[in-house]
Amino acid sequence: MDAWYTARAKNALINFGATIGHIPVRMAVMHDSGRLLPSGDAAHRAATAEELQQIEAGIEKGLKRGALAVGLGPAYTPAASNLEVLKVFEIAARHGASVHVHMRGRGAEAPDGTFGGFQEVLADAAATGAALHVVHIQSTGGPNVIHELDMIRGARARGLDVTTEAYPYNHGMTEIQSATYDNREKEPDSFFASLLWPATGENLTRESFLRYRKTGGWVIRPLTTPELVRAAILDPLTMIASDGILDGGKGHPRTAGTFARILAQYVREESALPLMDALRKMTLMPAQRLEKRVPAMRDKGRLRAGADADITVFDPATVRDASTYTQPALQSLGMRYVLVNGVMVVADGKVQAGVAAGREVRAPIE
């Protein structure tokens, strides 16, 4: 591998934090200069045999360096073959790592009940023995979320290690240059009007969509219904995860509001989710997803002597989210104190400036 690839593969692990990402490794191998998601060869060209070997080597190296898991996004790399995706699962299985997947979409023209992307990764997990985690199933599953949750339930009952998570919003956000927006130029005007450009707060038109496709940036769009979001959030299988990102203070309200929204809407207002179940979905279940490979996660997600002092103190009677699609960074209310590694980062509801108390978490380095 040349030096440029090696540097990009290293950044794939650093920039994506906990996981070694198939997407950034593929981008590095194919010399794709996309910002965060592939927009050129890495999205639209099949890997050669030599490139596939380099992709496999990059993922292997990341896992040996202590990546917690493998990130995989066939939705953003539609040219990646079924074999390439299977190879990622095989590598993960060898290292006892879970594969966290943004699965292939069903396509704009496909009828409800089409979920080949889900079946692909479920089959790969069954064939290789790798643990599978389906990311934010309320959006990636779309109209099929209930069927897919039932399939996960069935897979788990038969011994497969499959988990999933959701966030409490029916809009998603991704890069407008990504492959998920390919071939959308002839959509009706209503499609473009449903798209929100968080950088400016404007709803798009056909003209602005095409313009921003050239420059890049984040775009928000409706992906599912509130009813399907609710079904995913309340299912005992699902963890709660924010999938959060802000770019210059602009982005999706899930970044700042996810957990407070769960506590306010589903726990307090609707009494649909018991408080302890909600807390387990946010804390213990995510830690348990990773603790087989990452011993440090056994000290996360629970309050006990010797565990890491990562603690949130909130008022269940007043906690609520404040972030919106136009003001996504607004701090949630009712979160009185937050400790990270025993250090106060929020005190009396106020973020403490300049405090960075987090510690690196890695799997054992091989």
Asked whether the predicted pLDDT for residue 8 surpasses 50, the reply is: no
Alpha-helical (H) ranges within the chain are 3-15, 22-29, 41-44, 49-64, 82-94, 116-128, 137-140, 145-157, 189-193, 206-215, 226-234, 254-261, 275-282, 284-290
Q: What pLDDT was estimated at residue 14? A: 35
Mean pLDDT, rounded, for 27-52: 90
pLDDT at 359: 87
Average pLDDT score over the chain: 91
Burial 326-335 (b: 16+ CB within 10 A, else e): eebbeebbbb
pLDDT in tens, 305-333: 999 999 999 999 999 999 999 999 999 99
Segment 263-267 mean pLDDT: 98
Q: What is the pLDDT of residue 34?
A: 77
Which of helix, strand or coil describes residue 313? Answer: strand
- What three-state secondary structure class fits 28? helix
Q: Which residue has tokens 């473009």?
A: 192
Per-residue pLDDT band at 3 (split at 50, 70, 90): very low
Q: What is the pLDDT of residues 191-239, one digit of tens each?
A: 999 999 999 999 999 999 999 999 999 999 999 999 999 999 999 999 9
Residue 343 predicted with pLDDT over 70 = yes
Instruction: Report angle CA 262, 265, 269 to the nearest 5 degrees.
Output: 140
**Residue 277, C-beta contacts closer than 8 angstroms, at least 6 positions apart:** 236
| pLDDT for 111 | 66
Q: What are phi and psi of 78, to 5 degrees?
A: -60, -20
pLDDT of 2 higher than 80? no
Q: What's the average model confidence in pLDDT over 282-302? A: 96
Is 192 within 8 Å of 205 (Cβ atoms)? Answer: yes
pLDDT at site 105: 80
pLDDT at 91: 98
pLDDT exceeds 70 at position 16: no
Residue 117 near residue 106, CB atoms below 8 Å = yes
Q: What is the dihedral of CA 355, 357, 361, 365, to 10 degrees?
A: 100
How many CB atoms within 10 Å of residue 271?
9
What pLDDT score was predicted for residue 245? 87
Helices (H) and strands (E) in the chain, counts: 14, 16
Mean pLDDT of 90-102: 97
CB 38 within 8 A of CB 28: no
Which of 163 and 33 is assigned the larger pLDDT? 163
Residue 7: is its pLDDT beyond 50?
no
Residue 163 scores a pLDDT above 50: yes
Please determine, for residue 279, whether its predicted confidence score (pLDDT) is greater than 70.
Answer: yes
Fold category of 3-170+225-303 in CATH: TIM Barrel (3.20.20)
**Per-residue pLDDT tens digits for 228-252:** 999 999 999 999 999 988 888 999 9
Give the three-state DSSP class for 245: coil
Question: Considering Cα of 284, then 342, then 261, then 170, what sign does the dihedral take?
Answer: negative
Q: Mapping DSSP to helix (H, G, I), strand (E, B) and coil, where does residue 255 land?
A: helix
pLDDT tens digits, 103-144: 988 765 666 777 889 999 999 999 999 999 999 999 988 889
pLDDT of residue 5: 31
Separation of first and last alpha carbons in the chain: 20
Tell me the C-alpha distance between 110 and 104, whole Å: 12
* Position 62 pLDDT exceeds 80: yes
pLDDT of 112 reads 75
Domain spans, the chain: 3-170+225-303, 171-222
224 φ, ψ to 5°? -160, -170
